[in-house]
Amino acid sequence: MSEGRIRFRHLQAFLEVARQGSVARAADFLHVSPPAVTKTLRELEEALGVAVVERDGRGIRLTRIGEIFLRHAGTAITALKQGVDSVRQDGAINRHPIRIGALPTVSARVMPLAMSLFLKESTGAAIKIVTGENAVLLEQLRVGALDLVVGRLAAPENMTGFFFEHLYSEQVLFVVRAGHPLLEAGQDVFARLDEFPMLMPTRESVIRPFVDRLFITNGMTAPATEIETVSDSFGRAFLRQSNAVWIISAGVVANELGSGAFVALPVNTEETKGPVGLTMRTDTAPSPAFSILLQTIREAAGQGG
């Protein structure tokens, strides 16, 4: 193996192929041609002396060695970016944004206040906020495409290389629009759920196992009409115009519950309660602006969580 032959472009191409699962999509993201990405990967494998990727149908996947190298490559890219940031002149605007992955549970409840508090600090740092499923955001965090994920604690097997800081706990609710038939007195909610469309968390989401256990505990299997979604905007719009029941983390619909537009059904969901907080890589070395951001998120969670 010749470490001296490995360049930044090799790591960048490898990380993007790992993230995208496709040479073509990685090339599109990196603004180069697919043959250029393939050539770069071959150079990396020649330098390492082992294969790090292999064909997987029409896509591409990491080999076992590639999965091991991925952790170190992500760390190297992150360290390099932090090194560049650290030697910039005082007062210069940092063009590299702090990248946050926010689960829907905090996007409405915590992040707006956190951003307002952060902007008052006038750090000059740019912020980028993306949302999505927990597994997707954690993978982006792992490869260095995100700096922080704010949301529910992931399963232990998905937390390798990360640490979690608890902010508050919340539970899943069964939510309907005001005036829904299930809000009439004397209703057996679980006996009638199959009469209505159910908006469910996806099977890859953190809260789905809790929801599945809750159904089993109450003598139900899968809902008769089930729509899996991670889109909170779709959930809000569909709930307002239908008799659907939305199973969702309380933080996502906190504003609607507060205004009375949505109402939580009288279902005991205490067993779905879980920790919400900050997930970062164990090698994270926060910049001053990043440290201020973390503190504003803590303050916002304390007020709204």
pLDDT value of residue 262: 96
DSSP 8-state code for residue 25: H
Residues 6+ apart with CB under 8 A from 271: 210, 213, 214, 217
Q: What CA–CA distances, in Å, run from 181 to 105, 189, 224, 227, 241?
A: 26, 10, 18, 20, 14
From first to last of its 305 residues, the chain has per-residue pLDDT tens of 455 578 888 888 888 888 888 888 888 888 889 899 999 989 888 888 899 888 887 778 888 888 888 878 877 777 676 666 655 544 444 457 899 999 888 887 899 999 999 999 888 888 999 988 888 888 889 888 899 999 888 888 888 889 999 999 988 999 999 999 999 877 788 888 889 999 998 887 878 888 888 888 887 777 878 899 888 899 999 999 999 999 998 888 988 999 999 999 998 888 888 899 999 998 887 888 898 999 999 999 988 65
The tokens describing 175, both together, are 């939510």
**Considering only CA atoms, which of 232, 224, 233, 246 is closest in space to residue 177?**
246
**Going edge to edge, which strands form the sheet with 127-130?**
127-130, 98-102, 148-152, 274-281, 162-170
For residues 223-261, one letter each, b for 16 or more C-beta atoms within 10 angstroms of the residue's C-beta and e for the rest, the string is: beeeeebbebeebbebbeeeebbbbbbbbbbbebeeeee
- Confidence at residue 87, expressed as pLDDT on a 0 to 100 scale: 53
pLDDT at 264: 94
For residues 131 and 229, what is the distance between their CA atoms, to the nearest angstrom?
Answer: 13
DSSP 148-190: EEEEEPPPGGG-TTEEEEEEEEE-EEEEEETT-GGGSTT--HH
Which pLDDT value is given to residue 298?
94
Please tell me the pTM assigned to this model.
0.64
Q: Which residues pair with 148 in a beta bridge?
A: 100
* Whole-number pLDDT of residue 81: 67
Give the C-alpha separation, 35 to 212, whole Å. Answer: 45
Pair type for strands 127-130 and 148-152: unpaired
Burial degree of 279 (CB within 10 A; 0-12, 13-18, 19+): buried
